[in-house]
């Protein structure tokens, strides 16, 4: 079973997420809306299939990263979230909450040995392609 297949997103806390988004747009060319930005790429095994990596600053008081006290959270893409969560449980990995399912994919969360919350995403890239940029996560 494949575990992680790529980076699904990088998220970090910011004292002023609007100002931070503007800085990244001006200086690094990362165009993002209220809920962050999206990088589009192609799958290596199917060049016609799009994939996405999300990027976004969250308000510094967000609870989305809880119970982690870290200033960032990495989202990893996976092929079969439910199977992976079961294997991770068997291996003694701390699972946070329940799997959540949306039209653009399934999400689950774990805690690494340093106490960092890790987001696992089984994406539905076809749906995500249609709604990217419309504000998927209201926590940012």
pTM, two decimal places = 0.85
| Mean confidence (pLDDT) of the chain | 88
Q: Is residue 85 part of a domain?
A: yes
Q: Is residue 140 part of a domain?
A: no
Closest residue by Cα to residue 10 from 70, 73, 77: 73
Give one DSSP letter per residue of 49-117, joined into a string: EEEEEEEEEEETT-STTTT---SEEEEEEES-HHHHHHHHHHTTPEEEEEEEEETTEEEEEEE-TTS-E
For position 47, which CATH number holds? Answer: 3.10.180.10
Rounded CA gap, 54 and 45, in Å? Answer: 21
Rounded CA gap, 46 and 71, in Å? Answer: 35
Domain that holds residue 53: 4-131
Q: What is residue 111's predicted lDDT score, i.e. its pLDDT?
A: 96
Residues near 93 by beta carbon (within 8 Å), at least 6 away in sequence? 110, 111
User: Cα Rg for the chain, rounded, in angstroms?
Assistant: 15
Q: Is residue 10 part of a domain?
A: yes
- For the chain, what is the domain count? 1
Q: Is residue 139 part of a domain?
A: no
Beta carbons within 10 angstroms of residue 130's beta carbon:
11
pLDDT one-digit tens code per residue, 92-139: 999 999 999 999 899 999 999 999 999 999 998 777 767 665 544 434
Q: Is residue 101 part of a domain?
A: yes
Q: Is residue 138 part of a domain?
A: no
Query: Do the Cβ atoms of 56 and 72 come closer than 8 Å?
Result: no
Q: Is residue 137 part of a domain?
A: no
Q: Is residue 37 part of a domain?
A: yes
pLDDT one-digit tens code per residue, 40-93: 888 888 888 888 899 999 999 999 999 999 999 999 999 999 999 999 999 999
pLDDT one-digit tens code per residue, 3-16: 999 999 999 999 99
């Amino acid at each position: 079973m494949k575990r992680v297949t790529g980076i699904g997103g990088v998220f970090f806390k910011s004292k002023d997420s609007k100002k931070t988004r503007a800085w990244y747009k001006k200086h690094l060319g990362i165009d993002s809306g209220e809920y962050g930005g999206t990088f589009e790429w192609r799958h290596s095994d199917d060049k016609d299939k799009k994939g996405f990596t999300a990027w976004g600053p969250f308000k510094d008081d967000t609870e989305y990263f809880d119970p982690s006290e870290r200033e960032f959270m990495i989202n990893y893409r996976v092929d079969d979230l439910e199977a992976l969560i079961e294997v991770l449980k068997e291996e003694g990995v701390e699972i946070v909450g329940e799997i959540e399912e949306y039209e653009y994919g399934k999400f689950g969360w774990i805690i690494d040995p340093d106490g960092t919350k890790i987001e696992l995403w089984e994406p539905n890239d076809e749906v995500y392609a249609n709604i990217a940029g419309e504000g998927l996560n209201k926590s940012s």
